[in-house]
Structure 1
Amino acid sequence: MDQESAGRADETRDRWQRKDWWGVVLDAPDVDELAQFYSKLRGWPIWKQDENDAALDLGEGVAYLAIQRNPDYVRPVWPAQPGSQQMMLHLDFEVTDLEGETARAVALGAELPDHQPQDDVRVLLDPAGHPFCLYT
């Protein structure tokens, strides 16, 4: 079976039975705080969680967002500054109401930095300091 056929076969199986899951894992000093933040921000249920790890179920497909405890985690600096911890990645979320969703994210615990590079994008920092973007 070629790769394309295998991919179509995977799509027809129950997603929980699939073996091609992938995800993004964020380090944080407090797993629960960050898991709760993204669960509330995106409406994703927490699929499993303990004091060291959490995984959020994005609801469809085979992608997930996970958080792992790292007691030595160092917050990145935004905007980037030479000699400071750099962000390793950032998450992008499309929204229909940029100002409303920005205000909601801040109410949930995000920070809104002064530096905003684009009018149709808001760079925010989650409770652990990871930059993420809301955009229209």
Structure 2
Amino acid sequence: MPRSRRSRTSGRTYGRSSRGCWGRGRRSDGRSQGGGTGHHLADFYESLLGWSRRSDAPEWVELAPSDGGTGLSFQTEPLFSPPRWPSGASEQQMMTHLDIKVDDLTSAVERAVALGATEADYQPQDDVRVLFDPVGHPFCLFVRTDGGT
């Protein structure tokens, strides 16, 4: 039987279909981010990625790429505390982050910053830029330099 999950902040239940990540197909329908208002985060990533909204509820927004691939979901979490990056022993740890492949790193960083992102002070690689979305989730923009796709 498919499971559902309950938002920690609203108590609203978000069900998963049999095609969802806990159903027969055992595939992921997406990745969820929380923080502040889900709509604020969704607005940022919708503009950054050029994706469209698959669903839009008061505390939950789902974005999907035009090719039908795995999407992103955003939920409202009023008690969200942004992670620290690079990690510190006594602070909120980063759990996951997005890696976004771009063609031109400089222009992609400029665009992300114009949309509300902030560049991290520490940049570990020349072909990757670590940024923070408007509520503090780290994400990476990168240009593949090894000839891979």
* TM-score under structure 1 length normalisation: 0.83
- Higher RCO (CA-CA < 8 Å; seq separation 6+): 1
2:127 is the counterpart of 1:120: yes
Pick aligned residue for 2:118 from 100, 107, 111: 111
The residue number in structure 1 matching 2:15 is none
Pair 1:99-2:99 in alignment: no
Contiguous gaps of at least 5 residues in structure 1? 1-17
Residues 58, 90 of structure 1: CA spacing in aligned structure 2 closer, same or farther, 3 A cutoff? same
Between the two proteins, what is the percent identity of the paired residues? Answer: 43
Task: Give the number of the structure whose residues are more often helix, by fraction.
Answer: 1
Structure 2: gaps spanning 5 or more residues: 1-17, 20-24, 144-149
Whichever residue aligns with residue 100 of structure 1, its letter is S
TM-score when normalising by structure 2: 0.76
Which residue, out of 57, 60, 65, partners 1:50? 57
The 1-side partners of 2:135 and 2:58 are apart by 16
CA RMSD of aligned residues (A): 1.4
- Which sits farther off after the overlay, 87-96 or 18-27? 18-27
Q: Give the alignment partner of residue 31 of structure 1, picking from 34, 38, 59.
A: 38
Q: Deviations over 1:76-99 (max 9, x none)?
A: 111111100011100001001000
Q: Name which of structure 1's ranges 40-49 and 117-126 shifts more when overlaid on structure 2.
A: 40-49
Whether 1:66 aligns to 2:89 is no
Instruction: Could you list the structure 1 runs, at least 4 aligned residues long, displaced by more than 2 angstroms after superposition.
Output: 18-21
